[in-house]
A = this chain, B = another copy of it.
Protein backbone atom coordinates (compact mmCIF):
# COMPACT_ATOMS: atom_id res chain seq x y z
CA UNK A 1 0.00 0.00 0.00
CA UNK A 2 1.34 3.42 -0.88
CA UNK A 3 -0.24 6.80 -0.52
CA UNK A 4 -0.37 8.27 -4.00
CA UNK A 5 -2.00 11.17 -5.76
CA UNK A 6 -4.25 10.42 -8.70
CA UNK A 7 -1.59 11.43 -11.19
CA UNK A 8 1.03 9.21 -9.57
CA UNK A 9 -1.34 6.28 -9.59
CA UNK A 10 -1.86 6.79 -13.31
CA UNK A 11 1.86 7.03 -13.86
CA UNK A 12 2.50 3.76 -12.12
CA UNK A 13 -0.28 2.01 -14.04
CA UNK A 14 1.25 3.15 -17.32
CA UNK A 15 4.72 2.07 -16.23
CA UNK A 16 3.57 -1.36 -15.10
CA UNK A 17 1.54 -2.05 -18.21
CA UNK A 18 4.28 -0.92 -20.56
CA UNK A 19 6.73 -3.13 -18.73
CA UNK A 20 4.31 -6.03 -18.82
CA UNK A 21 3.43 -5.95 -22.50
CA UNK A 22 5.77 -4.71 -25.23
CA UNK A 23 2.78 -4.12 -27.50
CA UNK A 24 1.64 -1.21 -25.33
CA UNK A 25 2.61 2.10 -26.92
CA UNK A 26 1.94 5.63 -25.79
CA UNK A 27 1.76 8.82 -27.77
CA UNK A 28 0.43 12.35 -27.51
CA UNK A 29 1.53 15.94 -27.27
CA UNK A 30 4.46 16.45 -24.92
CA UNK A 31 4.20 13.06 -23.24
CA UNK A 32 7.95 13.25 -22.58
CA UNK A 33 7.89 16.43 -20.54
CA UNK A 34 4.39 15.56 -19.32
CA UNK A 35 2.23 18.56 -18.59
CA UNK A 36 0.36 16.73 -15.84
CA UNK A 37 3.15 14.41 -14.71
CA UNK A 38 1.23 11.24 -15.51
CA UNK A 39 3.56 10.18 -18.32
CA UNK A 40 6.74 11.32 -16.61
CA UNK A 41 9.75 9.05 -16.97
CA UNK A 42 8.16 6.69 -19.48
CA UNK A 43 10.17 7.94 -22.43
CA UNK A 44 13.37 7.42 -20.48
CA UNK A 45 12.28 3.93 -19.49
CA UNK A 46 10.67 2.64 -22.67
CA UNK A 47 12.40 4.65 -25.37
CA UNK A 48 11.47 6.65 -28.44
CA UNK A 49 9.72 3.84 -30.32
CA UNK A 50 7.09 3.23 -27.71
CA UNK A 51 6.73 6.71 -26.23
CA UNK A 52 6.30 9.46 -28.78
CA UNK A 53 5.73 13.18 -28.65
CA UNK A 54 3.39 14.16 -31.45
CA UNK A 55 2.56 17.33 -33.29
CA UNK A 56 -0.66 19.11 -32.31
CA UNK A 57 -2.91 17.17 -34.67
CA UNK A 58 -5.73 15.63 -32.69
CA UNK A 59 -7.77 14.78 -35.78
CA UNK A 60 -4.95 12.58 -36.96
CA UNK A 61 -3.97 11.19 -33.57
CA UNK A 62 -7.31 9.62 -32.74
CA UNK A 63 -7.44 8.01 -36.16
CA UNK A 64 -3.85 6.79 -35.85
CA UNK A 65 -4.76 5.19 -32.56
CA UNK A 66 -7.44 3.20 -34.36
CA UNK A 67 -5.11 2.21 -37.19
CA UNK A 68 -2.29 1.15 -34.90
CA UNK A 69 -4.68 -0.82 -32.68
CA UNK A 70 -6.29 -2.52 -35.67
CA UNK A 71 -2.77 -3.46 -36.75
CA UNK A 72 -1.95 -5.15 -33.49
CA UNK A 73 -0.81 -2.65 -30.88
CA UNK A 74 -2.30 -1.59 -27.56
CA UNK A 75 -2.47 2.14 -27.84
CA UNK A 76 -2.58 4.74 -25.12
CA UNK A 77 -3.28 8.15 -26.62
CA UNK A 78 -2.87 11.02 -24.20
CA UNK A 79 -5.08 13.94 -25.22
CA UNK A 80 -4.32 16.23 -22.26
CA UNK A 81 -7.67 17.91 -21.68
CA UNK A 82 -11.06 16.33 -22.26
CA UNK A 83 -12.05 19.28 -24.44
CA UNK A 84 -9.44 18.16 -26.96
CA UNK A 85 -11.37 14.94 -27.36
CA UNK A 86 -13.76 17.19 -29.26
CA UNK A 87 -10.93 18.21 -31.57
CA UNK A 88 -10.19 14.57 -32.32
CA UNK A 89 -13.83 13.53 -32.06
CA UNK A 90 -14.35 12.29 -35.60
CA UNK A 91 -12.17 9.21 -35.44
CA UNK A 92 -13.37 8.36 -31.95
CA UNK A 93 -17.02 8.61 -32.95
CA UNK A 94 -16.92 7.41 -36.53
CA UNK A 95 -14.04 4.94 -36.40
CA UNK A 96 -13.06 3.75 -32.92
CA UNK A 97 -16.65 3.30 -31.79
CA UNK A 98 -17.80 1.56 -34.97
CA UNK A 99 -15.02 -0.17 -36.88
CA UNK A 100 -15.22 -3.45 -35.03
CA UNK A 101 -18.99 -3.61 -35.33
CA UNK A 102 -19.13 -2.49 -38.96
CA UNK A 103 -16.65 -5.12 -39.99
CA UNK A 104 -18.57 -7.88 -38.28
CA UNK A 105 -16.18 -8.25 -35.39
CA UNK A 106 -13.08 -8.82 -37.49
CA UNK A 107 -10.84 -6.81 -35.18
CA UNK A 108 -10.16 -5.72 -31.66
CA UNK A 109 -9.38 -2.12 -30.84
CA UNK A 110 -7.40 -1.95 -27.61
CA UNK A 111 -7.10 1.80 -27.18
CA UNK A 112 -7.15 4.09 -24.19
CA UNK A 113 -7.97 7.71 -24.98
CA UNK A 114 -6.94 9.48 -21.81
CA UNK A 115 -7.51 13.05 -20.70
CA UNK A 116 -8.01 15.24 -17.68
CA UNK A 117 -11.55 16.49 -17.24
CA UNK A 118 -13.61 18.76 -15.06
CA UNK A 119 -13.45 22.20 -13.54
CA UNK A 120 -12.34 23.78 -10.33
CA UNK A 121 -9.06 25.28 -11.40
CA UNK A 122 -10.16 28.38 -13.32
CA UNK A 123 -9.14 26.82 -16.60
CA UNK A 124 -12.35 28.17 -18.14
CA UNK A 125 -14.73 26.79 -20.71
CA UNK A 126 -12.31 25.20 -23.15
CA UNK A 127 -10.38 23.24 -20.52
CA UNK A 128 -13.03 22.20 -18.00
CA UNK A 129 -15.64 20.00 -19.63
CA UNK A 130 -16.74 16.64 -18.23
CA UNK A 131 -17.89 14.98 -21.44
CA UNK A 132 -18.39 11.41 -20.29
CA UNK A 133 -22.13 11.55 -21.15
CA UNK A 134 -21.40 12.18 -24.81
CA UNK A 135 -19.22 9.12 -24.93
CA UNK A 136 -21.84 7.12 -23.09
CA UNK A 137 -24.30 8.00 -25.82
CA UNK A 138 -21.83 7.18 -28.56
CA UNK A 139 -21.91 3.43 -28.14
CA UNK A 140 -18.90 1.27 -28.84
CA UNK A 141 -16.49 2.78 -26.33
CA UNK A 142 -15.97 2.00 -22.70
CA UNK A 143 -15.95 5.02 -20.42
CA UNK A 144 -13.92 5.05 -17.22
CA UNK A 145 -14.38 7.71 -14.55
CA UNK A 146 -12.30 6.65 -11.55
CA UNK A 147 -12.95 8.49 -8.33
CA UNK A 148 -9.96 7.37 -6.27
CA UNK A 149 -6.26 6.87 -6.93
CA UNK A 150 -6.62 3.13 -6.40
CA UNK A 151 -9.31 2.92 -9.05
CA UNK A 152 -7.42 5.31 -11.29
CA UNK A 153 -4.64 2.77 -11.30
CA UNK A 154 -6.69 -0.41 -11.39
CA UNK A 155 -9.09 0.85 -14.04
CA UNK A 156 -6.33 2.12 -16.29
CA UNK A 157 -4.58 -1.21 -16.08
CA UNK A 158 -7.81 -3.01 -16.93
CA UNK A 159 -8.52 -0.65 -19.80
CA UNK A 160 -5.07 -1.15 -21.30
CA UNK A 161 -5.44 -4.93 -21.16
CA UNK A 162 -8.97 -4.85 -22.53
CA UNK A 163 -9.59 -5.24 -26.25
CA UNK A 164 -12.01 -2.33 -26.58
CA UNK A 165 -11.51 1.41 -26.87
CA UNK A 166 -11.84 3.20 -23.54
CA UNK A 167 -12.34 6.86 -22.84
CA UNK A 168 -10.47 7.30 -19.59
CA UNK A 169 -11.22 10.58 -17.83
CA UNK A 170 -9.78 11.74 -14.55
CA UNK A 171 -10.30 14.96 -12.71
CA UNK A 172 -7.54 16.72 -10.93
CA UNK A 173 -5.08 18.04 -13.48
CA UNK A 174 -1.58 17.95 -12.16
CA UNK A 175 -2.24 16.29 -8.81
CA UNK A 176 -5.59 15.03 -7.77
CA UNK A 177 -6.54 13.77 -4.39
CA UNK A 178 -4.30 11.31 -2.56
CA UNK A 179 -5.33 7.84 -1.53
CA UNK A 180 -4.06 4.38 -0.72
CA UNK A 181 -3.03 2.36 -3.73
CA UNK A 182 -2.11 -1.33 -3.53
CA UNK A 183 1.47 -2.16 -4.43
CA UNK A 184 0.56 -5.38 -6.19
CA UNK A 185 -0.51 -5.76 -9.77
CA UNK A 186 -4.19 -5.04 -9.16
CA UNK A 187 -6.75 -4.41 -11.87
CA UNK A 188 -10.28 -3.14 -11.36
CA UNK A 189 -12.88 -5.32 -13.07
CA UNK A 190 -14.53 -3.62 -16.03
CA UNK A 191 -18.18 -2.71 -15.64
CA UNK A 192 -18.35 -3.49 -11.95
CA UNK A 193 -19.61 -0.84 -9.57
CA UNK A 194 -18.53 -0.52 -5.98
CA UNK A 195 -20.23 0.19 -2.69
CA UNK A 196 -17.96 2.82 -1.23
CA UNK A 197 -19.97 3.18 1.95
CA UNK A 198 -22.93 1.32 3.37
CA UNK A 199 -25.99 3.11 4.61
CA UNK A 200 -29.72 2.75 4.98
CA UNK A 201 -31.44 6.11 4.56
CA UNK A 202 -30.47 7.25 1.11
CA UNK A 203 -28.40 6.13 -1.87
CA UNK A 204 -25.97 8.62 -3.34
CA UNK A 205 -24.23 7.86 -6.62
CA UNK A 206 -21.29 10.14 -7.30
CA UNK A 207 -19.47 10.11 -10.65
CA UNK A 208 -15.68 10.46 -10.83
CA UNK A 209 -14.62 13.71 -9.18
CA UNK A 210 -17.75 13.68 -7.04
CA UNK A 211 -16.79 10.52 -5.12
CA UNK A 212 -14.54 12.27 -2.63
CA UNK A 213 -16.81 15.13 -1.60
CA UNK A 214 -19.70 12.68 -1.38
CA UNK A 215 -17.81 10.45 1.03
CA UNK A 216 -16.84 13.47 3.12
CA UNK A 217 -20.45 14.51 3.36
CA UNK A 218 -21.61 10.97 4.13
CA UNK A 219 -19.20 10.80 7.01
CA UNK A 220 -20.30 14.14 8.35
CA UNK A 221 -24.00 13.23 8.13
CA UNK A 222 -23.42 9.89 9.84
CA UNK A 223 -22.64 11.82 13.00
CA UNK A 224 -26.14 13.25 12.83
CA UNK A 225 -27.66 9.85 12.28
CA UNK A 226 -28.28 10.20 8.54
CA UNK A 227 -27.04 6.97 7.04
CA UNK A 228 -25.87 7.42 3.47
CA UNK A 229 -25.03 4.58 1.13
CA UNK A 230 -22.54 5.58 -1.55
CA UNK A 231 -22.31 3.58 -4.76
CA UNK A 232 -19.48 4.48 -7.12
CA UNK A 233 -20.29 3.05 -10.57
CA UNK A 234 -16.66 3.63 -11.66
CA UNK A 235 -17.39 2.71 -15.29
CA UNK A 236 -19.96 4.74 -17.17
CA UNK A 237 -19.78 2.12 -19.94
CA UNK A 238 -20.42 -0.70 -19.27
CA UNK A 239 -22.72 0.85 -16.69
CA UNK A 240 -23.42 -1.47 -13.79
CA UNK A 241 -26.62 -0.38 -12.09
CA UNK A 242 -27.10 -3.57 -10.09
CA UNK A 243 -25.73 -2.20 -6.80
CA UNK A 244 -27.66 1.01 -7.22
CA UNK A 245 -30.92 -0.88 -7.71
CA UNK A 246 -30.10 -3.15 -4.80
CA UNK A 247 -29.36 -0.17 -2.63
CA UNK A 248 -32.69 1.39 -3.59
CA UNK A 249 -34.55 -1.62 -2.25
CA UNK A 250 -33.12 -0.57 1.11
CA UNK A 251 -33.21 3.22 0.93
CA UNK A 252 -35.87 4.10 -1.64
CA UNK A 253 -34.14 7.44 -2.15
CA UNK A 254 -31.57 8.40 -4.74
CA UNK A 255 -29.37 11.37 -5.57
CA UNK A 256 -26.91 11.17 -8.45
CA UNK A 257 -24.03 13.63 -8.36
CA UNK A 258 -22.36 14.35 -11.67
CA UNK A 259 -19.98 17.10 -12.75
CA UNK A 260 -21.38 16.89 -16.27
CA UNK A 261 -24.02 19.24 -17.60
CA UNK A 262 -27.49 18.11 -16.67
CA UNK A 263 -29.16 17.35 -19.99
CA UNK A 264 -28.46 13.76 -20.96
CA UNK A 265 -25.94 13.40 -18.16
CA UNK A 266 -24.85 10.20 -16.48
CA UNK A 267 -27.05 11.41 -13.64
CA UNK A 268 -30.03 11.45 -15.98
CA UNK A 269 -29.24 7.98 -17.19
CA UNK A 270 -29.00 6.54 -13.71
CA UNK A 271 -32.15 8.37 -12.67
CA UNK A 272 -33.92 6.94 -15.72
CA UNK A 273 -32.85 3.42 -14.82
CA UNK A 274 -34.09 3.96 -11.27
CA UNK A 275 -37.43 5.23 -12.57
CA UNK A 276 -37.76 2.15 -14.70
CA UNK A 277 -36.22 -0.85 -13.01
CA UNK A 278 -36.24 0.61 -9.51
CA UNK A 279 -39.68 2.18 -9.71
CA UNK A 280 -41.41 0.07 -7.10
CA UNK A 281 -38.72 0.84 -4.54
CA UNK A 282 -38.77 4.61 -4.88
CA UNK A 283 -40.05 6.54 -1.91
CA UNK A 284 -39.11 9.98 -3.15
CA UNK A 285 -38.29 11.83 -6.34
CA UNK A 286 -34.95 10.94 -7.89
CA UNK A 287 -32.65 13.92 -7.70
CA UNK A 288 -29.80 14.91 -9.95
CA UNK A 289 -27.07 17.22 -8.74
CA UNK A 290 -25.32 18.29 -11.89
CA UNK A 291 -23.84 21.30 -13.63
CA UNK A 292 -26.40 23.61 -15.21
CA UNK A 293 -26.40 23.59 -19.00
CA UNK A 294 -23.66 26.19 -19.14
CA UNK A 295 -20.04 26.48 -20.15
CA UNK A 296 -17.66 26.50 -17.19
CA UNK A 297 -16.72 30.05 -16.28
CA UNK A 298 -13.25 31.26 -15.30
CA UNK A 299 -13.62 33.37 -12.20
CA UNK A 300 -13.66 31.35 -8.96
CA UNK A 301 -16.99 32.60 -7.58
CA UNK A 302 -18.66 31.88 -10.92
CA UNK A 303 -17.09 28.47 -11.18
CA UNK A 304 -18.15 27.63 -7.64
CA UNK A 305 -21.67 28.69 -8.50
CA UNK A 306 -21.98 26.10 -11.25
CA UNK A 307 -20.02 23.09 -9.95
CA UNK A 308 -21.46 20.62 -7.46
CA UNK A 309 -19.54 20.50 -4.18
CA UNK A 310 -19.82 19.08 -0.68
CA UNK A 311 -22.15 21.82 0.41
CA UNK A 312 -24.57 21.24 -2.44
CA UNK A 313 -24.36 17.49 -2.00
CA UNK A 314 -25.22 17.85 1.66
CA UNK A 315 -28.15 20.10 0.90
CA UNK A 316 -29.53 17.64 -1.65
CA UNK A 317 -29.26 14.75 0.74
CA UNK A 318 -30.92 16.64 3.57
CA UNK A 319 -33.74 17.73 1.35
CA UNK A 320 -34.35 14.26 0.05
CA UNK A 321 -34.21 12.38 3.33
CA UNK A 322 -36.83 14.74 4.68
CA UNK A 323 -39.12 14.22 1.68
CA UNK A 324 -42.50 12.87 2.64
CA UNK A 325 -44.93 11.76 0.01
CA UNK A 326 -47.81 14.24 0.14
Contact = CB atoms under 8 A, between A and B. Distances in A.
A234 to B, nearest CB: 15
A98 B125 contact: yes
Given A137-B133, A137-B261, A295 B87 contact: no
Interface string A78-105: 0000010011011001100110011000
A287 interface: yes
B279 A268 contact: no
Interface in A113-134: 124-126, 129, 131, 133-134
B137 A125 contact: no
A288 B268 CA distance: 12
Interface string A268-282: 110110111101101
Contact of A295 (B86, B97, B297): B97
A293 B139 contact: yes
A136 B264 contact: yes
Contacts of A102: 124-126, 295, 298
Contacts of A89: 86-87, 89-90, 93
A301 interface: no
Interface string A133-152: 11011111000000000000
Contact of A271 (B87, B131, B272): B272
B264 A264 contact: yes
A282 B280 CA distance: 10
A94 B86 CA distance: 7
A25 interface: no
A87 to B, nearest CB: 4
Nearest to A267: B272
A225 to B, nearest CB: 25
A24 interface: no
A47 interface: no
A269 B279 contact: no
A94 B84 CA distance: 9
Given A94-B86, A137-B133, A288 B263 contact: no
A263 B239 contact: yes
A134 B265 CA distance: 9
Interface in A284-316: 284-288, 293-295, 297-298
Given A102-B295, A139-B294, A264-B269, A90 B86 contact: yes
Nearest to A278: B285
B264 A133 contact: yes
21 contacts: A58-B90, A59-B59, A83-B93, A87-B89, A87-B90, A98-B126, A101-B295, A102-B124, A102-B298, A133-B134, A133-B137, A134-B138, A134-B264, A136-B264, A264-B264, A264-B269, A275-B282, A276-B286, A276-B288, A280-B325, A280-B326
Q: Which 8 A-B pairs have the closest CB atoms?
A: A275-B275, A271-B272, A279-B285, A89-B89, A268-B272, A86-B93, A275-B286, A136-B263
